């Protein structure tokens, strides 16, 4: 038996084969091809395989989300067969006498540059599509696995850690759980696991070795334990916990359709955090009242170039319409720090968590901000959209954001494009600065949402991504909870609502403290909605105390 101990970051017990994430390094040789005819045949086979994949993806998208969602894959399939693009690849083979990989790379770069240089905005936007198509053909030429998982059966996915862009590409239907060498409870792997409602363990270190690939493992996402080929006693313990977990799932189903209200009548809004339109299904399945945090930056992380207004509008509209009148709070892009995007070409910073990130990028790049705001306001015509600005530290920043919104609304009015003129504007409370000026900030906006991960980081001077800080990174610290109380008092004095969208919102041990503080909304991973509802319905708000705010 092999036992490993890490940090549990998403609860649940599961068993399955360990599968190490396949991360392909794309190195394309510029050397002459040994057999040109063979390279042409390889290219044809890769194109055919790409067409098959795109056809299957289009069918799946149409079945799950309608014709509009299938259009992207159908467009990509058209590019694979586009006569000019095919000629460009064939010409590169003949003229350069190169490999099929190099021919695809040349054609992709040339076509993308040509489209980007056109005056027509629609054609410019297709540059990103041609890059994706070229990448797909290259993957098939090089034997790289789409989605990082080459397994017919579901697996426990193992990795050193996963970047945000990598988590977006995963075939989630094949994942039973996550185990990683590094990472933290705030890593994107952990966030994805909680959204999916599956177990995850990080911080296993060097004990998680690639030689374990294929071995049957049992993992407990609550305790952080991993057992490979467990003995009878360990196996019985895992099995008992698994059975209890299944019983709890059945019990939680009885919470669906019930109100999020305490025994003495105090209402609490329970919303969900999501990262993509695909996550809405989990929100609806778990009966979330709304979406308290749509991390729009994942649209940027998934793209090879700036997402266009139309691309963003479709994503926001899809979520707003699917939620059918329930509030959808969409955070403007929060790029920077641990979420780096190549095409933003951000300068390397010694301390990126304190650098140019989030709203600072938006205010420094008004055209990028304007594109997103136009997409957000257009989507507001199809549901109850609210716009939220991250990393706010000053009143002037909020006023600049509101001015940008006013300009966009004036443009849409002039163009006759419908939108909701009463769209709510909110900000994230993530820094000590925003807490200390919360009274002034509250007069400028319709709501606050506290990002407890960053608020803890900046209040305690602890890197939220570091896995070795242990007890020093303490979201329960009285300073963090007092900051939460200060922001809540300021919000209520100004007559606006306040919520929590950080992971702390799902911490059941703090529910009574949140009720005592006066928090109006908790936005959590979809899988946390029903357990949270169950606890709310057992609570008596007027008896809750602030004792945890004391040292």
Provide the annotated active-site residues.
188, 501
The number of C-alpha atoms within 13 Å of 213 and in the hemisphere containing its C-beta is 10
In terms of DSSP H, where are the helices of 280-431?
280-285, 297-301, 309-322, 359-364, 366-379, 395-415
Rounded distance, CA 543 to CA 459, Å? 29
Residue 372 · residue 332 · CB < 8 Å:
yes
Hey, what are 477's tokens?
């610290």
Rounded distance, CA 374 to CA 376, Å? 5
Nearest Cα residue to 334 out of 264, 416, 271, 392: 392
Nearest Cα residue to 199 out of 215, 218, 220: 220
Residue 317 · residue 283 · CB < 8 Å:
no
Bridge partners, residue 10, by sequence: 200
Show Cβ contacts of residue 484 under 8 Å, excluding neighbours closer than 6 positions. 450, 452, 455, 500, 517, 519
Write phi, then psi, for 18 (nearest 5 degrees). -75, 135
Bridge partners, residue 175, by sequence: 155
Write phi, then psi, for 207 (nearest 5 degrees). -65, -20
Instruction: Provide the pairing of β-strand 2-5 with 424-429.
Output: unpaired
3-state secondary structure of 287: coil
Residue 204 · residue 2 · CB < 8 Å:
no
The number of C-alpha atoms within 13 Å of 551 and in the hemisphere containing its C-beta is 1
Bridge partners, residue 19, by sequence: 157
């Amino acid at each position: 038996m092999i036992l490993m101990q890490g940090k549990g970051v998403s609860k649940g017990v599961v068993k399955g084969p360990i599968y190490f994430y396949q991360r392909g390094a794309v190195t394309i040789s510029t050397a002459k091809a040994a057999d040109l005819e063979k390279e042409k045949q390889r290219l044809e086979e890769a194109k055919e395989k790409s067409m098959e994949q795109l056809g299957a993806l289009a069918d799946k998208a149409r079945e799950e989300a309608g014709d509009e969602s299938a259009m992207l894959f159908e467009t990509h399939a058209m590019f694979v067969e586009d006569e000019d693009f095919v000629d460009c690849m064939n010409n590169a083979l003949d003229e350069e006498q190169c490999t099929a990989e190099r021919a695809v790379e040349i054609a992709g770069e040339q076509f993308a540059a040509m489209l980007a240089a056109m005056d027509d905005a629609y054609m410019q936007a297709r540059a990103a599509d041609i890059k994706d198509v070229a990448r797909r053909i290259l993957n098939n030429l090089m034997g790289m696995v789409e989605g990082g998982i080459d397994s017919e059966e579901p697996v426990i996915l193992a990795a050193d850690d996963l970047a945000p862009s990598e988590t977006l590409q995963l075939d989630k239907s094949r994942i039973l759980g996550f185990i990683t060498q590094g990472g933290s409870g705030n890593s994107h792997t952990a966030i994805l696991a909680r959204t999916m409602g599956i177990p995850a363990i990080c911080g296993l270190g060097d004990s998680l070795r690639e030689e374990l690939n294929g071995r049957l493992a049992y993992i407990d996402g609550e305790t952080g334990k991993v057992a490979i080929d467990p003995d009878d006693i360990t196996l019985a313990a895992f099995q008992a916990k698994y059975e209890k977990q299944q019983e709890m799932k059945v019990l939680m189903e009885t919470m669906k359709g019930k109100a999020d209200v305490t025994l003495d009548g105090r209402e609490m809004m329970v919303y969900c955090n999501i990262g993509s339109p695909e996550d809405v299904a989990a929100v609806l399945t778990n009966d979330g009242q709304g979406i308290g945090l749509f991390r729009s930056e994942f649209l940027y992380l998934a793209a090879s170039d700036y997402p266009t207004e139309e691309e963003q509008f479709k994503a926001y509209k899809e979520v707003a319409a699917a939620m059918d009148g329930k509030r959808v709070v969409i955070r403007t892009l929060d790029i920077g720090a641990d979420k780096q995007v190549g095409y933003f070409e951000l300068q390397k910073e010694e301390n990126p968590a304190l650098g140019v990130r989030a709203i600072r990028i938006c205010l420094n790049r008004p055209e990028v901000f304007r594109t997103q705001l136009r997409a957000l306001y257009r989507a507001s015509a199809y549901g109850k959209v609210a716009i939220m600005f991250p990393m706010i530290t000053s009143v002037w920043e909020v006023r600049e954001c509101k001015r940008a919104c006013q300009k966009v609304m004036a443009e849409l009015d002039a163009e006759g494009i419908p939108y909701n003129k009463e769209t709510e504007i909110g900000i994230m409370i993530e820094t000590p600065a925003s807490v200390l000026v919360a009274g002034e900030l509250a007069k400028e906006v319709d709501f606050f949402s506290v990002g407890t991960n960053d608020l803890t980081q900046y209040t305690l001077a602890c890197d939220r991504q570091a896995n070795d800080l242990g007890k020093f990174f303490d979201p329960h610290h009285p300073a963090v909870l007092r900051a939460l109380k200060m922001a809540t008092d300021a919000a209520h004095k100004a007559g606006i609502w306040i919520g929590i969208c950080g992971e702390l919102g799902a911490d059941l041990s703090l529910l009574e403290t949140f009720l005592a503080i006066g928090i109006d909304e908790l936005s959590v991973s979809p899988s946390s909605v029903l357990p949270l509802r169950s606890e709310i319905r057992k609570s008596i708000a007027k008896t809750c105390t602030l004792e945890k705010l004391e040292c």
